[in-house]
Chains A and B, each alone.
Chain A
Amino acid sequence: MYHQCSQLFLQGKWQISHLIQAELPTGKTTFMHGTVIFSAQEKKLESIIMSIEGFVLFNASYEHEKMTVHRAISPLDASGFADGLMHDLQLIFFQPNASSIETGCLPSLECVCRYSSNQGNPIDILIQKDHLWEIREYNKRHRLSRSVKAMSFKTITEYNQLTFRIPDVLVLTTYGLLGYTLNMNLIEAIPIDM
């Protein structure tokens, strides 16, 4: 079961681009182009958010558990935005800390791997029979704070014949008063130095 959960996360280095449809707490909808370059082993990533027209609105990197913001243009310079974004990206692309893992299956036949985040919050990975999956993060009071759902998949075969199954559509939802939803449609996934 643990192996199944860990397989959901891409290994190696990748450049992945999404069209992001953001549903904001105000009820408005906006669109962005998001690119992430990450190394799964090193838990290192760089995030670039652009307008649809290609203007860089936000650029930050995360390495050795430290974030550096290189560029942030209004409204993406708001307090807490960079921290929130990095949290979202780590939840999507990095396998949670492997310690404290518990596994089991629910009566609904979903199987679950339970991890503990670096902050000690529970993170559940649910795998359905059809191999669609969901990541749920809870706060310390065990209330759901974030979820990521993989809605469909794309299989990518690279020149060296390696095959990768990558989520084609991801939906990230944060809960609470300022909760938002990001509908992420895969544009391109490029393995780096593989």
Chain B
Amino acid sequence: MQYMMTYIGCMLIFFGIQMSSVHVMYADSWEEIRQATADMQSIRAEFVQEKHMKILKKPIQATGTFFYKQPHSLRWEYSHPIQSILLMHNGTIKRYIFNKDKGWIADTSPNLMNIQIAIQQMTEWMNGRMVQGSAFIPEFTDDRKLILRPKEKAMTLFIEKIELAFSKQDGIMDSVTIFENNDSYTKINYLNTKLNSVLPESLFTDIAYEAVSSNPVHTPK
């Protein structure tokens, strides 16, 4: 059960990865998605994340950038209001949070190790293994949405459904919405998505990284 909680807990991180399979364009089946994304090597996108709960006076908003590179490298970086970087590369996962007095601080909690195990399993869904490995039942809708509902009843207590919305113009994923229950959901809107740009390895191993395209060395403040 604890594993399942961890598994659910890293869903939002995971959608940085999962996007790489589903992200590129809308299709009518997992197999079509696999074929459509066969040539995808990397993704870079900005995102705006909104947490909605009935109790909240105002949704909690966060913005950031994510980078993904085949087969298992991820950088999930929040820039506002919290500065946080999650790095996954070669089977290791690290998270850092920026403190204005102390600089970047590493998250050393044991939960991070559990997230690593869960993400490793979930990345097995990549490259066509989604059907066998998926814990969700997919439903492809006419309005270019893919709705995922958990197969296991235990998981429905924590995630009701996940909705992936795709652009009508180019089929690229616009947003992911994770519904925890009737009172609570998280929506991530993706912007300025770029496919197959050259992403240096340091992007997935270091807080500061080498140039991407023509940008100079980037050091998050």
Q: Which residues of A line the B interface, CB within 8 A? A: 15, 17, 19, 21, 24, 26, 28-31, 33, 35, 37, 46, 48, 50-57, 73-75, 183, 185, 187-188, 190, 192
- Is residue B84 within 8 Å, beta carbon to beta carbon, of the partner chain? yes
User: Is the Cβ of A73 less than 8 Å from the Cβ of B158?
Assistant: yes
- What is the count of residue pairs linking A and B with beta-carbon distances less than 8 angstroms? 89
Sample of 21 A–B contacts (CB below 8 Å): A19-B82, A21-B105, A28-B108, A31-B84, A33-B82, A35-B56, A46-B55, A48-B55, A50-B51, A52-B82, A52-B97, A55-B8, A55-B11, A57-B9, A73-B9, A73-B158, A74-B6, A183-B99, A187-B82, A188-B60, A188-B81
- Is residue B137 within 8 Å, beta carbon to beta carbon, of the partner chain? no
Write out, one digit per residue, whether chain B residues 22-35 have a CB within 8 A of any chain A CB (1) or not (0): 00000000000000
User: Is the Cβ of A31 less than 8 Å from the Cβ of B95?
Assistant: yes
A30-B111 contact given A51-B9, A54-B60, A74-B1, CB 8 Å threshold: yes
- Is residue B153 within 8 Å, beta carbon to beta carbon, of the partner chain? no
User: Is the Cβ of A54 less than 8 Å from the Cβ of B186?
Assistant: yes
Complex Cα gap A24–B111 (Å): 13
User: Is the Cβ of B107 less than 8 Å from the Cβ of A74?
Assistant: no
User: Is the Cβ of A15 less than 8 Å from the Cβ of B1?
Assistant: no
User: Is the Cβ of B106 less than 8 Å from the Cβ of A55?
Assistant: no
The dominant DSSP class at the B interface is mixed
Q: B130: which A residues are within 8 A, CB to CB?
A: none
Q: Which residues of B line the A interface, CB within 8 A? A: 1-2, 5-6, 8-13, 49, 51, 53, 55-58, 60, 62, 76, 78, 81-82, 84, 86, 95, 97, 99-100, 105-112, 158, 178, 180, 184, 186
Complex Cα gap A24–B95 (Å): 17
Name the residue on A nearest B1 (C-beta).
A74
User: Is the Cβ of A75 less than 8 Å from the Cβ of B60?
Assistant: no
Q: B184: which A residues are within 8 A, CB to CB?
A: 56
A29-B108 contact given A21-B97, A73-B158, CB 8 Å threshold: yes
User: Is the Cβ of B60 less than 8 Å from the Cβ of A35?
Assistant: yes
**Pick from B6, B53, B78, B86: contact of A48, CB under 8 Å:** B53
User: Is the Cβ of B82 less than 8 Å from the Cβ of A28?
Assistant: no
Complex Cα gap A61–B201 (Å): 45
A15-B105 contact given A55-B186, A187-B82, CB 8 Å threshold: no
Complex Cα gap A33–B60 (Å): 10
User: Is the Cβ of A15 less than 8 Å from the Cβ of B57?
Assistant: yes
User: Is the Cβ of B62 less than 8 Å from the Cβ of A54?
Assistant: yes
Q: A46: which B residues are within 8 A, CB to CB?
A: 55
Q: B12: which A residues are within 8 A, CB to CB?
A: 51, 53-55
B81 to chain A, nearest CB (A): 5
Complex Cα gap A183–B100 (Å): 12
User: Is the Cβ of B109 less than 8 Å from the Cβ of A28?
Assistant: yes
Name the residue on B nearest A35 (C-beta).
B60
User: Is the Cβ of B109 less than 8 Å from the Cβ of A24?
Assistant: yes
A15-B56 contact given A28-B110, A52-B82, A54-B62, CB 8 Å threshold: yes
A88 to chain B, nearest CB (A): 19
The 7 closest A-B pairs by CB, nearest first: A30-B109, A53-B12, A74-B2, A74-B5, A15-B57, A28-B108, A54-B186
B217 to chain A, nearest CB (A): 25
